Amino acid sequence: MNGPLAIEASGLVFRYPDGHRALTGVDLAIRAGERVALLGPNGAGKTTLARHLNGLLLPESGSVLVGGVPLGPATLGEVRRRVGLVFQETEDQLFMPTVVEDVAFGPANLGLRGAELEARVLAALTSVGAADLAARAPHHLSGGERRRIALATVLAMQPDVLVLDEPTSNLDPAGRRELATVLLGLDVAQLVITHDLPFALELCDRAVVMADGAVVATGRVVDVLSDADLLARTRLELPLGFDPAVGFARRPVRH
């Protein structure tokens, strides 16, 4: 896929205070509008990498560029607006009494008010098929509805890149299908951290595989999922009987 780089991470090294080295020199590039699956076993460094892309964590060494803007203390606000992180647990993002207040929270903190704020919120809710949920209390919604509202809170900030951490976690098949439909309809770069390999195949054209804090493979999702040795080495498992070469009826691959 051609186009400008939305994210460019180079040589990221990071260790936690206990000394654990979670990233060991990671490079990652995502182009505007591209959907990339980030795969790997638990403890591979996927979420640590994701938290570097909008400055929730800062590297020991290496660099992150977001739309050409270098991540650093002076640019944190701009980078966090451009890179929206959708957490695995919706409770981390939904904390207001109503859906509309949750979705309005971020843009209001940017200074939006009145009709402009209302339009931003309505557009975000409409993009996830949830405009009818505006007056509802988030804790009364289904898991799939809460996931879409959490996504709307990020989309209301009009990011250039979405980073989604295990977006299908705890979703039933209907919620999973609704989420896939929403994500396929968004014209924004996406990095999708997931253990749901069929979902990765359905949504993304490219996969990046991590293990032990490093990128160990990258390529078309179908090729990565067809590499039995790679899956075994990185403790990734396809559902019984699932054939990546057949996969799903998908949208045309973009070039």
Residue 248 is predicted with a pLDDT of 53
What's the predicted TM-score (pTM) here? Answer: 0.91
CATH, residue 11: 3.40.50.300
Mean pLDDT of 46-53: 95
Per-residue confidence band for 18, with pLDDT thresholds at 50, 70 and 90: very high
> In which band, very low, low, confident or very high, does the pLDDT at 1 lie, cut at 50, 70 and 90?
low
Q: Record the tokens describing residue 138, joined without a space.
A: 């988030």
Evaluate if residue 192 carries a pLDDT over 60.
Answer: yes
Q: Is the pLDDT of residue 251 over 60?
A: no
Domain membership of residue 43 as a residue range: 5-89+160-233
When mean pLDDT is compared across 27-36, 64-73, 109-118, 244-253, the lowest value belongs to 244-253
Number of domains observed in the structure of the chain: 1
Residue 105 falls inside a structural domain: no
Contacts of 51 (CB under 8 A, 6+ apart): 57, 85
Q: What percent of the chain has pLDDT over 70?
A: 96
Question: Is 114 domain-assigned?
Answer: no
Phi and psi angles of residue 57, each rounded to the nearest 5 degrees, phi first: -125, 145
Whether residue 84 is contained in a domain is answered as yes
What confidence tier does 253 reach under pLDDT thresholds 50, 70, 90?
very low
Is the separation of the CB atoms in 35 and 180 below 8 Å?
A: no
Q: Is residue 103 in some structural domain?
A: no
Convert the pLDDT of each residue in 130-170 to its tens digit.
999 999 999 999 989 999 999 999 999 999 999 999 999 98
**Which residue, 143, 128, 132, is CA-closest to 174?**
143
- pLDDT confidence bin for 250, thresholds 50/70/90: very low
**Domain contains 125:** no
Do the domain assignments include residue 218?
yes
The string of pLDDT tens digits covering residues 99-127 is: 999 999 999 998 999 999 999 999 999 99
- Report if residue 94 sits inside a domain: no
Examine the pLDDT at 247 and tell me if it is beyond 90: no
Query: Which residue is listed with tokens 């938290």?
Result: 51
Q: Please enumerate in sequence order all residues whose Cβ is within 8 A of that of 1, keeping only pairs 6 or more positions apart, or say none.
A: 31, 33, 34, 205, 206, 254, 255
Residue 155 lies in a domain: no
